[in-house]
Amino acid sequence: MWSPLGMMNSKNWCKASPKRKAGQDPIFTSIKALTFSTLYRNQFPWDENPLLTFGPHQLVRFFEYDLYLNNPFPDLRNVCAYQPRLFSTHAPYATLPTSIKDSGCKIVYICRNPMDMFISLWLFSAKLRDKNRESLSLDEAFDKFYHGISAHGPFFDHVLGYWKASQENPNKILFLNFEDLKEDMDSHLKILAMFLGVPFTDDEEKQGVVEKIAKICSFENLKELEVNMKGVHTSGVPHTHFFRKGEVGDWSNYLTPFMIECLEKLIQEKLNGSGLTFKLLSKTANNVASPRS
């Protein structure tokens, strides 16, 4: 498995830094805007939500692509304006140090179906390519993805690592599907809030707080905010690159019938007996579930 230097550096802090408050600071993979707005909803006026002036990646910072990018031992005590602190990582579960696994910190993992994830990754990577370098063709990228060649390890190993851990320890790891969030944001926001220890009160639900968070954190709204339409992330990636369509089933506009067949077989093979299900939501295949052994 290949990992960026920042990810390797970040393990130094997880293992050795005396400044970390283990057991208080959740670590998140994506789902930044929703988590930020849910966890901190009572720490700022509603019409002053920091998401209106800062991008999600600025508010919930990456270990490997931000904090540890150029510094193996950054001071993390004051990188978050709110408590408890939120961080983000792409690290596979197997590579997380025991200082995280055995601590009281909580992990929220969000997964996207492999077909949409592959297309999104391919198009995103093309934007990052140097103008003097030719982008990978769809066929080349598909071959690499199919054979498990990816920046943070094979897709299915990554997903199943967190999935199995969430089944074994549901109080520590919340596993969410992107497709489920798109289908029913409100219900999953309540699940997220309960998991984080900040459940919505009856008054909040009556006042429409859940719906307000869902609206401000919707992909469509975030994409149109001025802060996300300009500027560059600390990694050098323009903020606009993080927003494309946010749709379910867009893979059907790119993948060939042969690619679809290969991925469907691979999904069945990799998920066999795991209990994990992917919603593809397309004309070709509505759902690919893990067959029970």
Residue owning tokens 């391919």: 122
Is the alpha carbon torsion for 44, 50, 52, 53 positive or negative?
A: positive
User: 3-state DSSP call for residue 13?
Assistant: helix
Residues labelled catalytic: 90
Residue 103: how many CB atoms within 10 A of its CB?
Answer: 18
User: 3-state DSSP call for residue 83?
Assistant: coil
Amino acid identity, position 122: W
User: 3-state DSSP call for residue 208?
Assistant: coil
Q: Which among 114, 258, 274 has a CA at the least distance from the CA of 178?
A: 114
Cα dihedral 164/169/173/178 (nearest 10): 40
